[in-house]
Amino acid sequence: MAAADGLRIVARYGVGVDNVDLAAAAARGIVVTNTPGANARSVAELAVALLLLLARPVARAAAETRAGGWPRLPGLSLAGKTVGLIGFGAIGRQTARLLAGFDCRLLAYDPLLNEATAAALGVRAASLDELLAASDFVSLHAPVTPETRGLVDAAFLAQMKPGASLINTARGELVDEAALLDALTSGRLRGAALDAFTTEPPGGDNPLLALPNVIATPHMGAHTDGATTAMGRMALADCLAVLRGEEPRYRVG
């Protein structure tokens, strides 16, 4: 920002602005915008895909079949299972909509949760303690804030139902990776699917990547045609508004 004398707006593709120095932008009169909701469906679709891959060992079965095998690998049916959603914003709500047809029980924890909205989607509001104790799958959809940074720590993981799985399509900073490694290697958790890491890319020496019960993807939740088109249009519209001297629609700073 200091080197960009003519910079008037930073238009963030996506919702999170934790990688933008909002204070520095404000001090320089630089507007910061984001694109709320534009990638919600795409991230929710990935969350459900990862959940299904944790339930059914599709990747391993496909690899062994391609190699000439014919494995019989046990899996889990989602019917009758409990899925806990931590964070019930646009992505959490979309995830609930997509899971509605799987006959699973849906719980949600969010300090700002609207219980009527949740109930309309077949989701029951729960405390964090209740959600962790009851859920077979816990899916993270929370932003990074001082309150949520490192939320998934040793105490959090110890409260999870034995044999449960964790899905993170939100931010890597939500998870204490060392504590997660311990929970996975000890057998406390059945598995984890991670689309976000504390350091990105995590590097081949990250011990989580060596575990057979970890599915890792390269922060690809928003990488679909629908999401990128919507984010581009929203970001461009706000850029043009600022350049015209108008108030942008999705200003965050």
| 40-69+76-216 fold | Rossmann fold (3.40.50)
> Residues of 109-130 as b/e, b for ≥16 C-beta within 10 angstroms?
bbeebeeeebeebebebbeeee
Can you tell me the mean pLDDT for 152-168? 98
pTM: 0.90
Can you tell me the mean pLDDT for 107-125? 96
pLDDT of residue 209: 97
Residues with Cβ within 8 Å of 131's Cβ and at least 6 positions away in sequence, in order, are: 84, 86, 107, 108, 109, 138
pLDDT of residue 163: 97
Please answer whether residues 81 and 137 qualify as being in contact, where contact means their C-beta atoms are separated by less than 8 angstroms: yes
| 1-39+225-253 fold | Rossmann fold (3.40.50)
Q: Is the pLDDT score of 150 beyond 90?
A: yes
Burial class (CB in 10 A: 0-12, 13-18, 19+), 147: exposed
Catalytic residue among 28, 97, 188, 219: 219
Q: Is the pLDDT score of 211 beyond 90?
A: yes
Can you tell me the mean pLDDT for 158-169? 98
Can you tell me the mean pLDDT for 151-169? 98
pLDDT of residue 206: 97
Mean pLDDT of the chain: 96
CA-based radius of gyration for the chain = 20
Question: Is 171 considered catalytic here?
Answer: yes
Query: How many CB atoms are closer than 10 A to CB 36?
Result: 15
Task: Report the alpha-carbon distance of residue 115 to residue 95 in Å, rounded.
Answer: 16
Please answer whether residues 201 and 79 qualify as being in contact, where contact means their C-beta atoms are separated by less than 8 angstroms: no
pLDDT of residue 93: 97
CA distances from 141 to 44, 77, 134, 224, 244 (A): 9, 23, 18, 18, 35
pLDDT in tens, 19-59: 899 999 999 999 999 998 899 999 999 999 999 999 999 99
Query: How many CB atoms are closer than 10 A to CB 34?
Result: 24
Partners of 82 in the beta sheet?
105
pLDDT of residue 27: 96
* Residue among 231, 229, 202, 235 at smallest CA distance from 216: 202
Three-state DSSP state, 197: coil
Q: Where are the domains of the chain?
A: 1-39+225-253, 40-69+76-216
pLDDT of residue 28: 96
pLDDT of residue 18: 81
pLDDT in tens, 57-80: 999 999 999 999 999 999 999 999
pLDDT of residue 15: 80
Residue 158 pLDDT class (50, 70, 90 cuts)? very high
Same fold, 1-39+225-253 and 40-69+76-216: yes
Please answer whether residues 16 and 144 qualify as being in contact, where contact means their C-beta atoms are separated by less than 8 angstroms: yes
pLDDT of residue 17: 86
Lowest mean pLDDT among 10-24, 63-77, 144-158: 10-24
Catalytic residue among 8, 115, 147, 200: 200
Please answer whether residues 91 and 44 qualify as being in contact, where contact means their C-beta atoms are separated by less than 8 angstroms: yes
Residue 153 pLDDT class (50, 70, 90 cuts)? very high
Torsion angle of C-alpha atoms 191, 159, 171, 91, degrees rounded to 10: 90
